[in-house]
Amino acid sequence: EAMTLLTEAADKGDSTAQWTLGALSYTYSSNKADALRFLVKASNQGEKDASLMLAQMYENGEGVAQNDQEAFKWYQKAVAQGDSYSLYKIGNMYDAGRGIAQNVQEAIRSYRQAADQGDAAAQSRLGWCYANGHGVEKDDVEAVRLWRLSAEQGHAIAQYYLGHMYDEGRGVSQNDQEAFQWFLKAAEQGDADAQYDVGMRYSKGIGVSRDDTMAVKYWEMAAQQGSKVAQYCLGMAYDKGFGVP
């Protein structure tokens, strides 16, 4: 009955119902045509999340033929409707020359606008740009600032990068304990590289008390995700008999 009421509301022009039906069809139905129909209607009434989902459908070729130009168009529409994440995605497309001619300066402009609006993914990417001198003058202090903003919002990649900045003393005073804490936050979110690094730090007692059992625990997490270095360390642990039963 709920679906019937939702469909009736959508057919009468309720944009929230259209968005909800589109999202449900996209997620749970094998018939993506219904998702497309309702999402387009919702987008045309200003639902930014519908525009974002349409962009992602075209970018990934889910339920529609993959088309970067169409994806870029829908991301632009989502931006016009106030979606900051879509600004970040437009930056990605300019950066890679997908759906639009490559333009690194336009990418940076989009990343910066999205970052200023608080988008964690954009903050993380812009931090990477500053750390690597990609489209901007290299600036480790600015990279750390941006990665911290992103990391504090729970962005795992930014947490991992911030850990490395503390580890290397780039843009911030070197601090093994801080490095470990940021690696740990990223590891707990499933980042395989961070899981490997946490394992290494436990195995060597860097920034944390040495604990071979914990080292093996994190290497196992990373190894299960396909990390070759973690698989090697895990093999060595079993071979030498440390941290394992």
Q: State pLDDT tens for residues 8-18.
A: 898 899 999 99
Q: Are 171 and 144 in contact (CB under 8 A)?
A: yes
Counting residues of the chain whose pLDDT is more than 70, the rounded percentage is 100
Task: State the residue for tokens 């503390």.
Answer: 166
DSSP string, 70-118: HHHHHHHHHHHTT-HHHHHHHHHHHHHTSSS---HHHHHHHHHHHHHTT
pTM above 0.85, yes or no: yes
pLDDT higher than 80, residue 149? yes
Q: What is the mean pLDDT of residues 15-25?
A: 91
| Per-residue model confidence (pLDDT) at position 237 | 95
Average predicted confidence (pLDDT) for the chain? 95
Whether residue 2 has pLDDT greater than 80 = no
Question: What pLDDT does residue 7 have?
Answer: 87
- The token pair at 192 is 């395989």
- What does the pLDDT read at residue 32? 82
Q: What is the structure's pLDDT at 60?
A: 94
pLDDT band at 31 (very low <50, low <70, confident <90, very high): confident
Q: Tell me the per-residue pLDDT of 77-112, one tens digit each, with 9 for 90 and over.
A: 999 999 999 999 999 999 999 999 999 999 999 999
pLDDT for 27 = 86
Least confident of 17-21, 82-86, 141-145, 214-218: 17-21
Backbone angles phi, psi at 134, to 5 degrees: -95, 100
Asked whether the predicted pLDDT for residue 243 surpasses 90, the reply is no
How far is residue 111's CA from residue 114's CA, in Å, rounded to a whole number?
5
Q: How confident is the model at residue 194 (pLDDT cuts 50, 70, 90)?
A: very high
Task: Report the SS3 class of residue 29.
Answer: coil
